[in-house]
Amino acid sequence: MALIVQKFGGTSVGTVERIKQVAEKVKKFREAGDDLVVVLSAMSGETNRLIDLAKQISEQPVPRELDVIVSTGEQVTIALLAMALNDLGVPAVSYTGNQVRILTDSAHNKARILQIDDQKIREDLKAGRVVVVAGFQGVDENGSITTLGRGGSDTTGVALAAALKADECQIYTDVDGVYTTDPRVVSQAQRLDKITFEEMLEMASLGSKVLQIRAVEFAGKYNVPLRVLHSFQEGPGTLITIDEEESMEQPIISGIAFNRDEAKLTIRGVPDTPGVAFKILGPISAANIEVDMIVQNVSHDNTTDFTFTVHRNDYEKAQKVLQNTASEIGAREVIGDTKIAKVSIVGVGMRSHAGVASRMFEALALESINIQMISTSEIKVSVVIEEKYLELAVRALHTAFELDAPSRQGE
């Protein structure tokens, strides 16, 4: 008999029919003898609707009150599921974050969980009840309702699993697992049976949106086995764990992530003196703009070019800041480009294999795709390319690293 925490996302509880289906599913697990804690999101679209409502009253709602309103979405779904379960003859009880006592800090709208009181939940489980908990919310030490940031129900699920030392945290969603890349771009993309926390973090932060990043960090930190599964289709899903088994069949690259969220800025003809990187990036960070990739060229004639990427939403702001810096330090000009994309190969297998980067560059060269920037870490290589080549690049890399699903007959 296992203790499982199951989290169902907004689309999985998006209608009354679906909530009934979730109840049937939970009942099956219960009948198989598992102890279950179920964490729910609000019905899909509901959190957006509530935020919108708040914004009709106030352009910048007081964060504390915004939490009071957005936390209601989850309160609705947990009650509905608990009712549905009881109707099916499965004893169940629902709790808000406050009732469990999921204690958080007071950073409204993006609170962090500090502690979870597991006593009530354990008593209910012992009494044979399914415990249904509202995701995304907690309470601070003053008794104010807090929320954990968009997508925060994943974190609630993982945190509960960690606190209860659950055997597994299952994240049910509208895809059947984590894929080698986005199947909408590469039809040959395959579901991964397994991926490590580290790889998943890279994939998540690089734009694969299956799991909230913070939930993956949390699961890695507390070593909570995490599984992503489809809510209404049978299948093993993808298991996210700590172990990097050294097997011969283990692919070197687990996946290819990409995003179109960044823009590139270059400041040219910068006098190459000590402190120049700080002079350029100091004001950028002071303006609260996050920088991703950075490249500084080798200087000649005592001047250099300095390029970095920022989120596209910050592009114009960054450009203004950089213009100022340019005139202050006597740089020649500032140029920029928003039509770029970042493509990354990710895999722990890279640690033990040489030549992975050059294989990537070769695959891109064969498609005549120019690489504008490169950055590497222990388990990933990222390149910036022209946006219009993004899909071609992802497909070429997917093939080059042998990630394509074996094609079926007639395809």
Q: Which of Mg ion, ligand ASP, none is residue 47 near (CB under 5 to 8 Å by kind)? A: ligand ASP
Q: Which of ligand ASP, Mg ion, none is residue 136 near (CB under 5 to 8 Å by kind)? A: ligand ASP
Please name which of 387, 402, 390 lies closest in space to residue 312, comparing C-alpha atoms.
387
Distance CA 163, CA 160 (A): 5
Q: Which is nearer to ligand ASP, 48 or 250 (CB)?
A: 48
Given 73, 97, 138, 151, the residue binding Mg ion (CB under 5 A):
151
Please name which of 369, 373, 380, 314 lies closest in space to residue 344, comparing C-alpha atoms.
380
Residue 190 CB neighbour total at 10 angstroms: 17
145 binds ligand ASP (CB under 6 A): no
152 binds ligand ASP (CB under 6 A): yes
220 binds Mg ion (CB under 5 A): no
97 binds Mg ion (CB under 5 A): no
Residue 295 CB neighbour total at 10 angstroms: 16
9 binds Mg ion (CB under 5 A): yes
Output the CA–CA distances (angstroms, integers) from residue 143 to 98, 99, 104, in the order listed: 8, 11, 10
Distance CA 75, CA 134 (A): 6
- Smallest gap from Cβ 70 to ligand ASP, in A, equals 7
110 binds ligand ASP (CB under 6 A): no
Per-residue contact flags (x/-) with Mg ion for residues 49 to 88, judged by CB under 5 A: ----------------------------------------
Output the CA–CA distances (angstroms, integers) from residue 257 to 209, 294, 349, 373, 395, in the order listed: 10, 19, 16, 16, 11
174 contacts 237 by C-beta, under 8 angstroms: no
Output the CA–CA distances (angstroms, integers) from residue 334 to 267, 310, 318, 374, in the order listed: 4, 14, 11, 20
**CA angle, residues 145, 147, 148, in degrees to nearest 5:** 145
Give, to the nearest 10 degrees, the angle between helix 356-366 and helix 390-400. Answer: 130
136 binds ligand ASP (CB under 6 A): yes
Q: Which is nearer to Mg ion, 9 or 138 (CB)?
A: 9
Q: What is the dihedral of CA 58, 63, 66, 68, to 10 degrees?
A: -140
Residue type, 336: G
Q: What are phi and psi of 71, to 5 degrees?
A: -70, -10
10 binds ligand ASP (CB under 6 A): yes
Residues 6+ apart with CB under 8 A from 248: none
Q: Which of ligand ASP, Mg ion, none is residue 150 near (CB under 5 to 8 Å by kind)? A: ligand ASP
146 binds ligand ASP (CB under 6 A): no
Given 14, 73, 97, 157, the residue binding ligand ASP (CB under 6 A):
73
153 binds ligand ASP (CB under 6 A): yes
Per-residue contact flags (x/-) with ligand ASP for residues 24 to 63, judged by CB under 6 A: -----------------xx----x----------------
Q: Which is nearer to ligand ASP, 181 or 208 (CB)?
A: 208
14 binds Mg ion (CB under 5 A): no
Q: Which of Mg ion, ligand ASP, none is residue 61 near (CB under 5 to 8 Å by kind)? A: none
Q: Which of Mg ion, ligand ASP, none is residue 349 near (CB under 5 to 8 Å by kind)? A: none
What is the C-alpha R_g of the chain?
24
349 binds Mg ion (CB under 5 A): no
Q: Which is nearer to ligand ASP, 86 or 109 (CB)?
A: 109
Q: Which of ligand ASP, Mg ion, none is residue 259 near (CB under 5 to 8 Å by kind)? A: none
| Residues in touch with ligand ASP (CB under 6 A) | 10, 41-42, 47, 73, 135-136, 150-154
| Residues in touch with Mg ion (CB under 5 A) | 9, 151
